[in-house]
Structure 1
Amino acid sequence: MNGHPLDRVVHSALTSSRQSHLAVREGGALRMAAGYGVFVAVDDPARTDDVRRLPVPEGKLVSVEALAQPLPEGFRLEKEAVLLQMTLTALKSGKVRDIRIEKLGDADAEQMLALAILTEPGPFFANTHRLGDFYGVKEEGRLLAMAGERMKPDGFTEVSGVCVHPDAQGRGLAAAVMRQVIEAIVARGETVFLHSYDHNDRAIALYEGLGFSVRAPMKMRTLVPL
């Protein structure tokens, strides 16, 4: 289908050279593998009937599209929200702080999931940290902040999972870990993008301060099986 690949970002990611192996497909519908995410898309936006054949062990699926699609049969709309899809124009210079940032991995998975559950940066599951590189800040072994990569359409990488423990707010940790993630993506020659709820002024200000600007509003829908 024609159009910008980020207009149908989930479909673009799950049919990309880097993440197609994570797609669970039933006919013209596909979702991210359980344990990694709950994102869903269809090949043809006018045909959503195959969505009901997909497994939904988490009890919900989430679509992110520039244009709202018909509600799939067998599902009800639990939540609808507007996301601002933002792309990086150029990473702005920022104040250098003495913050020790380290790469996170499987050994940190339990703490990463706990921090995501506490702060709710978006859908995050046991294997979400394996979608890409994640970086974090720890103090005495305790994870206080993290950010990483999520959806990867060809030529693009999404920054996601940005969260800071309430005990560590106001210390510039979110910007610091995001910079680490962004610099690695830019070094690969890819376009960096992210999503934010349109009403999250604090997050939007952070992202704009790093060099992001709004590309397009996106419709996010949470679908629950009947």
Structure 2
Amino acid sequence: MTMESDSGESTFVAHVSSPAMTINVLDNPVWHALAGPHRHHAIGRGAARHYARDIAPFSAILHPSDQAYADLAEDLPVGTEARLFRPTEEPLPAGWEDLGRFPMLQMVATRTPEGGGEAVSTLSSAHAAAMLDLVALAQPGPFGRRTPLLGRYLGIWKGDRLLAMAGERLRVPGHVELSAICVHPEARGQGHAAILVRRLMRLAFENEELPFLHVRPDNRPAIDLYRHLGFEIRRELMVLWRRPR
């Protein structure tokens, strides 16, 4: 259920176990990850934070202001864009250039899925080469050499070939993002993605966290799969690519 707080901020009320949780941290997920559970990965100052780019290519501001963007520029490598998840399409600040923008749907699951008992493998840094090879083929979105440091990653193998994987990326108070959900082109249509997502959902609920994810609005097959697994669309976010001039 969505509602509006006294400040006008969009919130979402859900139930994990029995207590109600108001989850407005999801309106600015990268900020709340880097200011919270992932603070040990955070680079930045003041009202701005970044991940190291080989972990995740994302930056965040607490709120849109000249000072926040000044803080943001301080720790961006020269020529590198800030990729921001923002609640709305915000005005471009002075001294910055717009490199692109696109909408992203945020989906949240509030119930444990059925199934999820199939055999899967835990992936580690020892499997980094296979994970990067699969990402290059399947193109699930940003994934770097050190992305697996952010959480658990699971995979399905056939011999020594990684057929499918999925894992945890952003972690904010009470929630964990599922990401890098991908299947080798030759192994699609066999239910591998659903198996991995169900297992990660169960792990999240066991940890008293709500799983959430992000998906492009035009990716109907993925949206339909996630709905089938128990995710519902919470809201639309804007991904803004901006760089200091």
Q: TM-score, normalised by structure 1?
A: 0.90
* Equivalent runs, 1:164-175 vs 2, <5 Å: 164-175=183-194
1:147 aligns with 2:166: yes
Residue 53 of structure 2: aligned partner: 34
Distance (Å, rounded) in 1 between the aligned partners of 2:109 and 2:132: 27
Identical-residue share of aligned pairs (%): 33
Distance (Å, rounded) in 2 between the aligned partners of 1:72 and 1:117: 34
The higher radius of gyration belongs to: 2
Distance (Å, rounded) in 1 between the aligned partners of 2:108 and 2:190: 24
What displacement does 1:222 show? 2.3
- Cα pair 1:49 1:72 within 8 Å, conserved: no
- Cα pair 2:55 2:145 within 8 Å, conserved: yes
CA 1:168 to 1:225, structure 2 compared with 1: closer, same or farther past 3 Å?
farther
Residue 107 of structure 2: aligned partner: 86
Q: SS at the partner of 2:130?
A: helix
What displacement does 1:57 show? 7.1
1:203 aligns with 2:235: no
- Deviating more after overlay: 71-80 vs 132-141: 71-80
RMSD (CA atoms): 2.0
Amino acid in structure 2 at the alignment position of 1:54: D
Residue 55 of structure 1: aligned partner: 76
* Equivalent runs, 1:69-108 vs 2, <5 Å: 69-93=90-114, 100-108=119-127
Residue 222 of structure 1: aligned partner: 241
Residue 34 of structure 2: aligned partner: 14
Which of 106, 121, 133 is equivalent to 2:140? 121
Unaligned runs of 5+ in 2: 1-6, 10-23
What displacement does 1:71 show? 2.9
CA 1:56 to 1:124, structure 2 compared with 1: closer, same or farther past 3 Å?
farther
Unaligned runs of 5+ in 1: none
1:5 aligns with 2:25: yes
CA 1:28 to 1:169, structure 2 compared with 1: closer, same or farther past 3 Å?
same
Q: TM-score, normalised by structure 2?
A: 0.84
CA 1:225 to 1:163, structure 2 compared with 1: closer, same or farther past 3 Å?
farther
Distance (Å, rounded) in 1 between the aligned partners of 2:52 and 2:94: 21
- Cα pair 1:92 1:209 within 8 Å, conserved: no
